[in-house]
Amino acid sequence: MARKGTIEKGSRTALVTGAGSGIGRCMARRLAELGYRLILAGLDPAKLEAAAEELHEQYGLAVEVIPIDLARPEAAHELFERVQALGREVDVLVNNAGAFSFRDILQTPVERIEKILCLHALTTTLTCRLFGAEMSRRGCGGHILNMASYSLWMPWPGLALYSASKSYLRGFSVAFAKEVREQNIRVTKTMQALGGKKLREYYDDVYAHCMVQDYIIDVNQAIDTYSPVYEKYISIDSEGIKYEGKK
């Protein structure tokens, strides 16, 4: 029996940014499991090629890579044009690429501020605009996932830039989702949080699986399936989150 959310192998295409490592790479793997062809975009060509080779060998699907710096004003248009040059129509867009910053604003180089705001706000907004318009034009619907962060609720010293940029992503995604709902385009924003390094690899994999289940399949199924497993590795008490063991 096919798992829920599975499509005819290779019949649809998913574009994942920041796909060379971490959550982005895990997202790509989960989408491949469901049968999606993949386009992996990101900054590091070597990591993208390694991910593409691994996914192609494991799932027998077409996997193409687009090395690109998305923290530039022209990046979204360039990405869109390069996807079109491949002859692909994107059914699922995962805007995962991001950069972290923990530094007071007055100590942050202006160039760093410009790049983070461009990557988190401008590039994500424009990829939603460009690929969303194509989804609407085709009339087949689609899915867009924007990666915000739990830190948007934490406008603390040192996080001013990062949390504000992620707060923008949340607000934009909520409003944009309502605008395109009648075109059968589903827009989801996610507010992940993560902690110690020894949980990171396991967290990325479980989190990616839950998000794919959530925005493409069914959130309740994801929670029922993965919460008992996840809870084996973390506990929360009055002192915060504690990490217990590793995979």
Strand residue runs (E) in 43-154: 63-67, 92-95, 142-147
Residues 31-41 as b/e (b if ≥16 CB within 10 A, e otherwise) read bbbbbbbbbbb
27: helix, strand or coil: helix
Please report how many Cα atoms fall inside a 13 Å half-sphere around the Cα of residue 64, on the Cβ side: 17
Query: What are phi and psi for residue 10, nearest 5 degrees?
Result: 75, 10
Q: Do strands 142-147 and 92-95 pair parallel, antiparallel, or not at all (unpaired)?
A: parallel
Closest CA to 89 of 17, 151, 33, 137: 137
Total residue length of the chain = 247
Largest CA distance in the chain: 57
Active site residues: 162
